[in-house]
């Protein structure tokens, strides 16, 4: 395959949905795999749905994820502009060409007339209520009106659209790279609007014209476009571009984690996970939608997760660098059925990627968190903390949650546990332990262990029986990272102080 050119063509109608991200990713992987070009085109032909900031959001999201754009909005390129709203003249030219060649016509019907037509058809029991071969000759268009009247209407500035004249009784077969042959009869299609009355093209026209002009070789897009793909084939034909028509690949959809339907923002809200790459603030309502980035997901982990949602390499490998993904990717191995979105797996990937990061980077995150909370800490100590905690976290912000014990002494020990398990022997052993600790100048995990064994032994306790009490004394909690390592990082004086504080508490409460 030479000169592969693919495009990701979102509409700036809001934040980029995670399903859109996956579409972009598959396009990107395919382009890179074949040494091709990845193009970003903005399909902003619906002015009523335009949302300020959405385009910028899309660009930033792709950037964060490392989905590189070779050509298009941003980097520019030989087929600029790449924003469809800036290409109106081009579409008009081709729409008029289609009228001249008899493949399209002007239609002047008002909204009311269209509605009346549909009602009429519905009541007469027609299978479908479409503007097509069966009804077009009963409507007000350049097929039914005398040419002078058409010209008069056009000159008078009357509202009109340009419709495609769907051919009758044709079998249209397209070869989808994922689904194989898909055949549709043109009876099922209607006379789609190509140019709207506001002068903008519809998706169908703009898409076909741009893909041709931009020399797109493979159209990789969501399954929602499969039903209109035959129409697009017809358009390529009518425009005389069938020989260079791109190949199609329609991707399966992302489904709700539970229940029926496709994944929506509601599901994320309901189950507590993001469905957008970055946090998004709606410019009209001010409503905030959480993003994967802000939730603590690493871009590489999200990419890995998404890549495997609907595609697999045919091996048992699960962890992929982006280069490995590029190397292994192929359209043939994309599955045909929709994939339920399971955030559990995304978290697992994040955990895997997080622990592979160098300690310095984790320490950097910890620094920010500590600074925000107003705690000072040496880099050396931060690195030790990070090394102790890195296998215990799923998100970067978990770091502070677990490191907090080093900076904030417990307000009081876990009361339930103390009431149930605390004994006078423990009390005496910990007193002894704290006393001996005070004499130590060079604290190591090994020294601590010895001191603990010694203190325990004198009260007829096993070292293990004193471990939990010591943890409670130091952190207030019954679980946490390795006790000895933790105590070493905490330091001798802090340990002694916390033990004494706890012993006072238990004394007053229990004895």
Partner RNA sequence: GGCCCGUUCGUCUAGGGGUUAGGACAUCAGAUUUUCAUUCUGGUAACAGGGGUUCGAUUCCCCUACGGGCUACCA
> Which amino acids are annotated catalytic?
265
Q: Which of residues 368-397 bind RNA (CB under 7 A)?
A: 391-392
If the CB atoms of residues 110 and 288 are measured against RNA, the closer one turns out to be 110
Give the interface segment with RNA, choosing from 175-183, 372-380, 420-428, 495-503 (CB under 7 A): 175-183
Among 412, 464, 504, 509, binds RNA (CB under 7 A): 464
Among 63, 85, 289, 312, binds RNA (CB under 7 A): 312
**Site for RNA contains 85 (CB under 7 A):** no
3-state secondary structure of 168: coil
**Site for RNA contains 316 (CB under 7 A):** yes
**Site for RNA contains 261 (CB under 7 A):** yes
Contact assessment for residue 473 and residue 430, using Cβ atoms and an 8 Å cutoff = yes
Q: How many helices (H) and strands (E) would you count in the chain?
A: 20, 14
If the CB atoms of residues 49 and 270 are measured against RNA, the closer one turns out to be 49
The tally of CA atoms less than 13 A away on the side-chain side of residue 154 is 14
By C-alpha distance, which of 342, 350, 318 is closest to 255?
342
Contact partners, residue 252, CB within 8 Å, separation at least 6: 178, 223, 310, 334, 335, 336, 337, 338, 339
Q: How far is the CB of 253 from RNA (least distance, A)?
A: 5
Q: Which of residues 236-255 bind RNA (CB under 7 A)?
A: 252-253, 255
- From the centroid of its chain, how far is CA 487? 41
Retrieve residue 26's tokens: 């598959």
Contact assessment for residue 58 and residue 16, using Cβ atoms and an 8 Å cutoff = yes
Furthest-apart CA pair in the chain: how many Å?
A: 112
Strand partners, 492: none
**Site for RNA contains 401 (CB under 7 A):** no
Among 149, 168, 224, 371, binds RNA (CB under 7 A): 224
**Site for RNA contains 314 (CB under 7 A):** yes
If the CB atoms of residues 335 and 507 are measured against RNA, the closer one turns out to be 335
**Site for RNA contains 25 (CB under 7 A):** no
Give the interface segment with RNA, choosing from 25-33, 232-240, 376-384, 481-489 (CB under 7 A): 481-489
Q: How far is the CB of 2 from RNA (least distance, A)?
A: 27
Helix (H) or strand (E) holding 213: helix 203-213
CA distance 1 to 325: 18
Q: How far is the CB of 371 from RNA (least distance, A)?
A: 26
Contact partners, residue 407, CB within 8 Å, separation at least 6: 370, 373, 375, 377
**Site for RNA contains 31 (CB under 7 A):** no
Contact partners, residue 340, CB within 8 Å, separation at least 6: 254, 255, 256, 257, 258
**Site for RNA contains 121 (CB under 7 A):** no
Q: How far is the CB of 142 from RNA (least distance, A)?
A: 14
Q: How far is the CB of 94 from RNA (least distance, A)?
A: 16
**Site for RNA contains 142 (CB under 7 A):** no
**Site for RNA contains 209 (CB under 7 A):** no
**Site for RNA contains 398 (CB under 7 A):** no
Q: Determine the size of the site formed for RNA (CB under 7 A).
A: 78
Q: How far is the CB of 159 from RNA (least distance, A)?
A: 5
């Amino acid at each position: 395959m030479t000169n592969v050119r693919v495009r990701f063509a979102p509409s700036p109608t809001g934040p980029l949905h995670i399903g859109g991200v996956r579409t972009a990713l598959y396009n990107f992987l395919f382009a890179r795999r074949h040494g091709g070009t990845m193009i970003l085109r903005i399909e902003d032909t619906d002015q009523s749905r335009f949302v300020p900031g959405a385009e910028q959001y899309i660009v930033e999201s792709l950037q964060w994820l490392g989905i590189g754009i070779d050509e298009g909005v941003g980097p520019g390129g030989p087929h600029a502009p790449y924003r469809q709203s800036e290409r109106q003249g081009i579409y008009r030219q081709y729409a008029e060409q289609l009228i001249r060649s008899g493949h399209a016509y002007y239609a002047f019907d008002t909204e009311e007339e269209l509605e009346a037509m549909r009602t009429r058809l519905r009541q007469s029991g027609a299978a479908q209520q479409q503007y097509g071969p069966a009804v077009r000759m009963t409507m007000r268009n350049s097929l039914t009106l005398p040419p002078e009247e058409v010209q008069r209407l056009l000159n008078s500035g009357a509202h009109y659209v340009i419709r495609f004249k769907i051919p009758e009784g044709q079998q249209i077969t397209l070869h989808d790279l994922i689904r194989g042959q898909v055949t549709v009869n043109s009876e099922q299609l209607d006379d789609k609007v190509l140019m709207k009355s506001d002068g903008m093209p519809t998706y169908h026209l703009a898409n076909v014209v741009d893909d041709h002009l931009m020399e797109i070789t493979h159209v990789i897009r969501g399954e929602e476009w499969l039903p209109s793909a035959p129409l697009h084939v017809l358009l390529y034909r009518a425009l005389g571009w069938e020989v260079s028509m791109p190949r199609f690949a329609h991707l399966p959809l992302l489904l709700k984690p539970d229940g029926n339907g496709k994944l929506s923002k509601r599901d994320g809200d309901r189950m507590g996970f993001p469905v957008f790459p970055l946090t998004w603030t709606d410019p009209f309502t001010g409503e905030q939608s959480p993003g994967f980035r802000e939730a603590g997901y690493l871009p590489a982990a999200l990419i890995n997760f998404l890549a495997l949602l609907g595609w697999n390499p045919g091996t048992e490998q699960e962890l992929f660098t982006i280069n490995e993904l590029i190397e292994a990717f192929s359209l043939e191995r994309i599955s045909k059925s929709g994939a339920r979105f399971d955030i559990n797996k995304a978290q697992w990937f994040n955990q895997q990627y997080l622990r592979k990061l160098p300690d310095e980077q984790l320490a950097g995150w910890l620094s920010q968190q500590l600074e925000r909370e107003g705690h000072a800490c040496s880099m050396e100590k931060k690195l030790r903390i990070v090394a102790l905690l890195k296998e215990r976290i799923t998100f970067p912000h978990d770091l502070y949650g677990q490191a907090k014990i080093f900076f904030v002494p417990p307000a009081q020990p876990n009361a339930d546990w103390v009431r149930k398990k605390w004994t006078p022997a423990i009390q005496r052993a910990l007193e002894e332990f704290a006393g001996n600790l005070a004499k130590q100048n060079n604290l190591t995990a090994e020294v601590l262990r010895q001191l603990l064994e010694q203190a325990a032994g004198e009260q007829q306790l096993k070292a293990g029986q004193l471990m939990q009490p010591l943890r409670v004394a130091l952190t207030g909690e019954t679980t946490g990272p390795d006790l000895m390592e933790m105590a070493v990082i905490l330091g001798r004086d802090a340990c002694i102080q916390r033990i004494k504080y706890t012993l006072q508490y238990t004394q007053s409460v229990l004895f």
